[in-house]
Chains A and B, each alone.
Chain A
Amino acid sequence: MFMTETPEPPAVRLTGLTKSFGANRVVQPLDLDIRRNEFFSILGPSGCGKTTLMRMITGFETPTGGSVELDGQNVDKVPTKSRDLNMLFQSYALFPHLSVYENVAFELRVRRTPKGEIDTRVKEALELVRLGAFAARKPAELSGGQRQRVALARAVVGRPAVVLLDEPLGALDQKLRKEMQFELKRMQREVGITFIYMTHDQEEALTMSDRIAVMSEGRVLQVASPTEIYDEPASRFVATFIGSCNVLDGVIDAHGRSVVVPGVGELPAAVPADARPGTGVTLAIRPERVRMAAAGTSVPPVGAVPGTLEERVFLGDEWTFHVRLASGGVMTVSVPSGEEAASLGAIPNGGAVVLSWLPASARVLPAEAVAA
């Protein structure tokens, strides 16, 4: 046996994994390591290939190329039923003819676990999801949130190494969704199982994940922690898909210190040291990092950008302002509700404003970073 530097192999390792349906390649060859006990989200719009990716990990789909390793073992030839992972289906796929108890016990019975142990473990799993009192009910007699918990109990009762969750909160209403986000995170910590969570909802991914993989058109664009993904998006797609983001196209100025946007001028930006003057880039600035003031009222730091306030939208916890720039583009500025927002209320629609931001808040991304 060889000793490698990392004694523990990753929970899931994908190597050059790819899938085509006919001429249509839905998952481009990708490499990905998912660590043990990690809450790992795969985030992307519908049709980005995440469902196919997940179905290749479970073994429901045969990859066109590449391989899947679970806990260091290649499982390309291992059928779904023998892979040490379970899935929580978007539809929950609870067996409608079985009680909650029997649904959870299904795997243990199929795998011929001793009777006494089945009872202990089913009760344990139902306690985990706080449904101990509902053991005798049929799935049809439960609410959506309860069904979801049963599905989760059923997925973890066999103590698999990995649980894959396919948009499990999609069918729930907004309030229940928020509650379940925290619940899922709590349960994942309690059971110590690697969770791979598929979602198209960036908020869900940011709230729960240890790491996020952003997918688009069959490619993984970035794998990083939620804060990194949000603060340091690697591409224009990631910047605009996660949260809202202002993007401006421009070029690196002659000194390699700022970005020149046609029609607007020289803008402060976090230009990388190795950036070459004249290179076309995309500037990405989060709306909450932009400060707005009435024209002439204050002397902003470097590179104030003039504009016209076009519209304001009240969202409860914050105000969003739309500002038209001289170039014709629109920038969004968000300000939390409070004194500052109240003082900005004095600016009439159509009034002249200046926008400013710290250079560090404006991220310089390669132009046309969107996957072709």
Chain B
Amino acid sequence: MDRLTSWIARLVFVFLYLPIAALIVYSFNSSEVSYRFDGFTFRWYLELFQDQMLGDALRTSAIVGIIAALLSTAIGFLTAFALVRFRVKGRAFFLGAILVPLIVPEIVLGVSLLTIFSTAGIPTGFVTLILGHVVITLPLATLVLMGAMSALDPSLSEAATDLGASPWVTFRRVLFPLLRPSILAAFLLSFTTSFSNIVISTFTAGVGTTTLPLRIYSTLRTGLTPELNALGTILVVATLGIILVVGVAQMRRILAGPRP
């Protein structure tokens, strides 16, 4: 029985990582078709760097992702603070309302966003992309930060106030340093959610603001090129890099000793 479960676990593991491994291997495949491995090459990486359209899409996605993540983290922090710390009227309602965009199908959000933007006469572009992404990243950031804040002793900010700190000083000297890992987590989660979004981008992107996932999706019509494998590999490596950097920082914090 134990052997069986351990084999299942191994198979699941292989299933999870096989696509990523294949992606990396084929990004170095000199053949143009994926069923044959002809030899090692950097050709696809070179082509990728010369691909103007993909480069633009990558830049769009990065800008939208960073701004959406910044907005979500900042607004999410304040929302979480209000909901965790104060006896806000209609607290239960707000808590529910925050979750709704996570449950509503994205396609519905996309359609309604487009309706609103065209009614309001806002041309699709960076602004609409960012607003659209914030709708789904804000709930995530808020939830992450609410969890972290409820774990924090509420007396800490009272103690700071009692010792003469203004709300800003309390934030800068006490809350921010203590919540830094969670703020970073909220930011990264918002960024990756925005970066990989397709559905909402489909409705909110305009001419000249095609995001990376939209660009990749559209190349399906002309057939996948090994160039995309190279792009995928770069993204996987970048993600691993971030996890490693954040993870090491987290580990160090945990090893520094349990908090009282």
- Chain A residues with CB under 8 Å of chain B are 58, 60, 80-82, 85-87, 89-97, 106-107, 110-111, 138-141, 147, 154, 158
Contact = CB atoms under 8 A, between A and B. Distances in A.
Contact of B164 (A89, A94, A107): A107
* Interface range on chain B (Cβ under 8 Å from partner): 20 to 34
A131 B155 CA distance: 23
A87 to B, nearest CB: 5
Contact of B259 (A87, A96, A111, A158): A96
A89 B258 contact: no
Interface string B150-185: 000101101111111110010001100110000000
9 contacts: A80-B161, A94-B260, A95-B174, A106-B165, A110-B160, A110-B163, A110-B169, A140-B259, A158-B163
Contacts, number: 69
B257 interface: yes
Contacts of A82: 164
Chain B interface, DSSP helix/strand/loop, else mixed: helix
Contacts of A85: 162
Contact of A89 (B158, B166, B177): B158
A147 to B, nearest CB: 7
A81 B165 contact: yes
A111 B173 CA distance: 13
A93 B163 CA distance: 12
B257 A95 contact: no
Given A58-B162, A110-B160, 12 more contacts: A80-B162, A81-B166, A86-B163, A87-B158, A93-B155, A95-B160, A97-B178, A106-B160, A107-B164, A110-B164, A154-B163, A158-B163
A93 B175 CA distance: 13
Nearest to A154: B163
Most buried by B among A94, A96, A141: A96
A55 to B, nearest CB: 9
A93 B155 CA distance: 6
A106 B173 contact: yes
A94 B163 CA distance: 12
Contacts of A58: 162
Contacts of A139: 260
Nearest to A96: B259
A270 B153 CA distance: 51
A60 B158 contact: yes
B153 A111 contact: no
